[in-house]
Amino acid sequence: MKKTVTTLADGRELIYYDAGDDAVRDAVDERPLDPPASGSEIRHDPLLGDAVAIASHRQARTYHPPADECPLCPSRGGRHSEIPADDYEVAVFENRFPSLAGPTGRCEVVCFTADHDASFADLTEERAALVLDAWTDRTAELAELPQVRQVYCFENRGAEIGVTLGHPHGQIYAFPFTAPRTALMQRRAAEHRAATGRNLFDDVVARERADAERVVLTGEHWTAFVPYAAHWPYEVHLYPNRRAPDLRALDDAARTEFPQLYLELLRRFDRLFGPDEPPTPYIAAWHQAPFHDAEREEFGLHLELFTVRRTSGKLKYLAGTESGMSVFINDVPPEVAARRLREVAGK
């Protein structure tokens, strides 16, 4: 992998990741840009203890531009975008409208491909491996920032999820705090260790592999399964078989096998609802251990992939119980979801 670091016209960092060492990335951003807005503020909920980012400047962010004005496409034909090069493999840059910036953290955009009409599932295994390298490199770099406590790599896909740019891309948030879901997992892991003497994440994976009813895919180094108490209609968790706290700790064998299994999962998601249904909207979320935590080695790195579509033409909305009380009601039994995801293999 070759990494080329440069800056955009307003001073934001841009990083190209290329599979070969011969790539030349010397294009200059010629846009007359003002300094980026970064007026985010972190406020803490006294009742829940949650951290909330207040970021009013994001109201002005780019919203559903036409394809020929996409800011994530390469700069071609006299039109300048966020990527000055006329082509690229994987590119990462600081978000122009960040939810977190400066002492409150950092937000980055990850462009998976220069092809506007593609999706992650369309990538080759080599390109998916390069994206994994980029996620890992950014996790390592952001871990060195003194204000960063946790790094969250994720992809929102589809208008139903709220995506405002159609180009295949994801994001990276560097939090100055431990995310509430992570903190809850850590508490549960500590309780499990105290009660059993074992690791919670190891036991969850071992149970699913032994039961096998909810397992969707298995490899030598990864296991994908629908969790026993899945919150979403179709939800898959992907774990390395050898526990690692974050992406940096994955061994070479797991890194090599990941693209094959992950791409197959995404392609099965797109086959769930039939050929006449639009591409399946989803969120893909990496859960990594917080930094500078005495118990971080107890945490189990994993990816959670889920869709808000519950059946053809119908979405799962977070209504009164989910939004008001965080009590989920799932219309699709996890065992049925797992069986369906196994059935659509190779279709």
287 belongs to the catalytic site: no
Let me know how long the chain is. Answer: 347
Tokens 């945490």 map to which residue? Answer: 299
Tokens 């797109």 map to which residue? Answer: 270
Rounded to whole angstroms, the Cα distance separating 87 from 319 reads 43
Q: Which residues of 22-50 are buried (b: 16+ CB within 10 A; e: fewer)?
A: eeebebebeeeeeebbbebebeeeeeeee
Rounded to whole angstroms, the Cα distance separating 43 from 54 reads 7
Tokens 């952001």 map to which residue? Answer: 142
Give the Cα-Cα-Cα angle 312, 315, 319 (nearest 5 degrees). 155
Q: What token pair was written down for 8?
A: 């955009």
DSSP state of 83: B
- Give the active site residue among 169, 221, 287, 302: 169
Rounded to whole angstroms, the Cα distance separating 99 from 107 reads 7
Residue 252 has, within 13 A of its CA and on its CB side, a CA count of 0
List, by residue number, the catalytic residues: 169
